[in-house]
Structure 1
Amino acid sequence: MTHEHQAVPSKPPVDDSHVEKYRRRAIAASGIGWGLDGFTWTMYGFALTAAMPVLGMSEGASGWVTAISIVASAAGGVIFGNLADRFGRINMLTVVILGYSIFTALTATSQHTFDFLLWRTLEGLFFGGEWAVGAALVAEYARPEKRGRSLAIVQSCYAIGWAVSTTAYLTLYSIFPPEVAWRYLFLVGIIPALAAFVIRRTTKDATEISGQSKPDEGKSEGKFARLFKADLRARTLSATLLGVGVQGIYYSVFIFLPTYLQEDRGLSIVGTATYTWVAIVGSFIGYVASGFLLDAIGRRPTFLFFFLGSAASVSLFVLTPAAQPELGILIILLLGFFASGQAGGTGAYLAELFPTEVRATGQAISYNFGRGLAAFGPLTVGIAAASIGWGYSIMIIAIAGAILGIIALSLLPETKNSQLVSAID
């Protein structure tokens, strides 16, 4: 009796045009999400100065509110990163955009410091989830040789969101008195919720397109436990330290920039907006430039370049006499370039450090635990500002962040051209 061997059906080939269509949509969806993230988060810095006297909030209290909201964003990043590994990137991207839009708008209703803290904490919870989910989505679609620039382009959308919030700030503060205008500024934060529905209906996960199983299919092991097993533990901890350095620089510099410009430099609303626009232009250029450098010279050299530049440019800006505004404009352009450029590589680098089944969770933990620990930076800035001023406080934390980031780089491998989801490349 003879037996015929039954052929195992092969996976159908992936249509390149189909993949390219969804690759573009994934980059657009994550870019929109990150840009709207930037829109809702940066308006906080503009609103804070006017909101503090209305709510009876001290400088120290503002530092605590900022720190707690950043810690909440760290928790949110871990929660939604884990959920994205279980239920898909697009599903969770939709949820987080809805969440941070609603709670940004509710911040406008604050009557006391406690209300303000509550809404900022809830907004932070969802805000933190967007980066981990969107970065994993784009990293899995991007071609290995272009992953750095793809993720950097997505992160450059944050500068666009920042530009929109600056425009809203300038417009609303010219129409309404500051003690009321900050409420309207937060209220427009509901607008991004509309984008969530479009993204959900038009975009798919890379694993859906490639036919690859979902990240946790067949995996009984917990995501968090997997990241701290022997083969990934050192990498997870070092990546988290990198997150502390990146977030420590970014948040300490940009959250308090409007307050520093108005209180230490004595600038008007128009003057603050002008300096901010220059920083935004520098930021956009820094994001994009970092992407091309990541793909050209590698991850570690690019991060080192931007860390050193961040420490130097922040120091130059703070130490430049206020009587020389033309020099200050040039230096704040460099500050935006380096302080944003040092964050531009995190999406690509962190994605390449973790395997697919725990990628979003690993990125979320390293980036957002880093963010949670980095919250002590803005907290320290807020507390120290009363004695040494906003400028020196910001400078000290930025330098400390650069040092921590450089230490982390020495412990992490180079990952240029790493393959992630090979079925669609």
Structure 2
Amino acid sequence: MSSTVEPSGAIETAPIEDTSLLAFYRDMNLPERRTFWACAAGWALDGMDFMIYPLVIGTIIAMWKVDPGTAGLAGTVTLLASAVGGWLGGYLADRIGRVKTLQFTILWFSFFSLVCAVVQNFDQLLIARALLGLGFGGEWAAGAVLMGEAIRPEFRGRAVGSVQSGWAVGWGLAVLSQAILFSYLPAEIAWRWMFAVGALPALLVFFLRRYVEEPAIAAATREKQAASGDQPALWEIFHGPILKTTILASLMATGCQGGYYAITFWVPRFLTTERKLSVVSSTGYLAALILGSFIGYLVGAWLADRIGRRNLFLTFSIGAIAVVLLYTQLPLTNEVLWLLGFPLGFFASGYFSGVGAFLTELYPTRLRGSGQGFCYNFGRGIGALFPFLVGALSNSTSLANAIAIFAVAAYGVFFLAAFALPETRGRVLHADT
């Protein structure tokens, strides 16, 4: 039985009785399953779109004669723009609805992925990636809130975390596209087709319009706001007791994403330069990393409900630091490096499974889109500096050292911020004004 909300303001929570990974899916009704698959597909295509650029960055550097720091700037600009897009997308989701915002943002970033395929110089690519980032950030904000509200509290960690595993599927699709296109087309043409493939998410909108419903809790809250005229303000997440939550959650999101981007953005380049692998032969190493990432998402989803969100974050941040140091600092053979790709992907990704549910549970319904969208994408924006900084530092030290320095620092911030935040496992969400 769920506990009740006491007059003192105690938080209502639901018990986690069945802790098996797939229990949530067995108990879903048809609308919930449609929402689950729509969001999972969105995450996969989102991941594919973002990971395309790190995979073609070597070709961009060679073709347009840009240095690694400048090339990394395009990744940084994408993430900085996504920080703005996520905040605005979350706010829009609070005002017009989760599903409508999701549709709009998917169309936006799909269109600008197509624009990336036809740019004629690096400056044009930089602008196109920035505009793509606006939709990229907004899509995460709307989709995460949609999933968090559609799923019952006892299953929320596993459901949202399982959706997060779609990112690894999208990463795999990007790597597969690279292997095929760069095998059959010249590099100066193949990279353009990679970006063209990134426009495929637009097809998902047809499914969203037909089958996915707005969460009842969000619809009820907006009805109350419309009747009272009390609409949430864009800056409301920075006032009163909510401010402390916003600051700590933003730092946590900065650490977890900064570490992730420092690793995943530059590992393809690390393999082809410092490990002397070709683009095609590096595919197997990336496959190990992606497989570890996918399994990490699923295990993280299970642990989010089993041991709680905070314990998941603390455990995986320590694991990520240890594996990053092994991967980048020891004189390993390529065979051992290939094996280490699995735990690297596992620990550098699996904690994301708890992030969406955790941020959903930290905010009241009237501010959930704004708060969740801002914190996650603030972290994405600051984390966005890491691809640029790693690339810049690699001009004076090895790329391996640059990756290790920024990844370890980021995961340290992640650990400390997560430790300072409350546990939210099983928290019941309510319609409010």
Same fold judged by TM-score > 0.5? yes
Instruction: Please say if residues 361 and 424 of structure 2, whose CA atoms lie closer than 8 Å, have aligned partners that are also in contact.
Output: yes
Q: Who is 1:3 aligned against?
A: none
Q: Give the distance between the partners of 1:347 and 1:174, measured in 2 at CA.
A: 37
Q: CA deviation at 1:321?
A: 2.4
Q: Give the distance between the partners of 2:127 and 2:92, measured in 1 at CA.
A: 23
Q: What's the CA shift string for 1:348-370, capped at 9, x where partnerless?
A: 11101000011011011100011
Instruction: Please say if residues 151 and 344 of structure 1, whose CA atoms lie closer than 8 Å, have aligned partners that are also in contact.
Output: yes
The one of 288, 306, 313 equivalent to 1:278 is 288
Q: CA deviation at 1:332?
A: 1.0
Q: Give the distance between the partners of 2:234 and 2:247, measured in 1 at CA.
A: 12
After the TM superposition, list the runs of 4 or more consecutive aligned residues in structure 1 that deviate by more than 6 angstroms: none
Q: Give the distance between the partners of 1:371 and 1:283, measured in 2 at CA.
A: 18
Instruction: Please say if residues 19 and 209 of structure 1, whose CA atoms lie closer than 8 Å, have aligned partners that are also in contact.
Output: no
The one of 160, 164, 177 equivalent to 1:168 is 177
Q: Who is 2:111 aligned against?
A: 102
Q: Who is 1:238 aligned against?
A: 248
Give the secondary structure class of the aligned counterpart of 2:241: coil
Give the secondary structure class of the aligned counterpart of 1:419: coil
Instruction: Please say if residues 83 and 92 of structure 1, whose CA atoms lie closer than 8 Å, have aligned partners that are also in contact.
Output: yes
Give the secondary structure class of the aligned counterpart of 1:223: coil
Q: Give the distance between the partners of 1:137 and 1:357, measured in 2 at CA.
A: 13
1:383 matches 2:395? no
Instruction: Please say if residues 207 and 214 of structure 1, whose CA atoms lie closer than 8 Å, have aligned partners that are also in contact.
Output: no
The one of 67, 73, 95 equivalent to 1:86 is 95
Q: CA deviation at 1:296?
A: 0.7
Q: Who is 1:417 aligned against?
A: 426
| One-letter amino acid of the structure 1 residue matched with residue 384 of structure 2 | A
| One-letter amino acid of the structure 2 residue matched with residue 248 of structure 1 | G
Instruction: Please say if residues 82 and 360 of structure 1, whose CA atoms lie closer than 8 Å, have aligned partners that are also in contact.
Output: yes
Give the secondary structure class of the aligned counterpart of 2:76: helix
Instruction: Please say if residues 152 and 290 of structure 1, whose CA atoms lie closer than 8 Å, have aligned partners that are also in contact.
Output: yes
Q: Who is 1:41 aligned against?
A: 50
Instruction: Please say if residues 313 and 332 of structure 1, whose CA atoms lie closer than 8 Å, have aligned partners that are also in contact.
Output: no
Q: Who is 2:352 aligned against?
A: 343
Q: CA deviation at 1:382?
A: 1.1
Q: What's the CA shift string for 1:364-383, capped at 9, x where partnerless?
A: 11000111111221121010
Q: Who is 2:230 aligned against?
A: 220
The one of 197, 206, 210 equivalent to 2:206 is 197
1:66 matches 2:55? no
Residues 230-309 of structure 1 correspond to what in structure 2 (within 5 A)?
230-309=240-319
Instruction: Please say if residues 140 and 421 of structure 1, whose CA atoms lie closer than 8 Å, have aligned partners that are also in contact.
Output: no
User: What is the number of equivalent residue pairs in this alignment?
Assistant: 406
Q: Relative to 1, partners in 2 of residues 1:52 and 1:302: Cα closer, same or farther, differing over 3 Å?
A: same
Q: Who is 1:11 aligned against?
A: none
Q: CA deviation at 1:18?
A: 12
Instruction: Please say if residues 46 and 169 of structure 1, whose CA atoms lie closer than 8 Å, have aligned partners that are also in contact.
Output: yes
Q: CA deviation at 1:222?
A: 3.9
Q: Who is 2:135 aligned against?
A: 126
Q: Who is 2:17 aligned against?
A: none
Q: Give the distance between the partners of 1:68 and 1:54, measured in 2 at CA.
A: 20
Q: CA deviation at 1:137?
A: 0.4
| One-letter amino acid of the structure 2 residue matched with residue 107 of structure 1 | C
Stretches of structure 2 lacking an aligned partner (at least 5 in a row): 1-25
Q: What's the CA shift string for 1:177-207, capped at 9, x where partnerless?
A: 2122111111111222111121122111112
Stretches of structure 1 lacking an aligned partner (at least 5 in a row): 1-16
Q: Give the distance between the partners of 1:215 and 1:37, measured in 2 at CA.
A: 33
Q: Relative to 1, partners in 2 of residues 1:63 and 1:210: Cα closer, same or farther, differing over 3 Å?
A: closer
Q: TM-score, normalised by structure 1?
A: 0.92
The one of 409, 412, 424 equivalent to 1:403 is 412
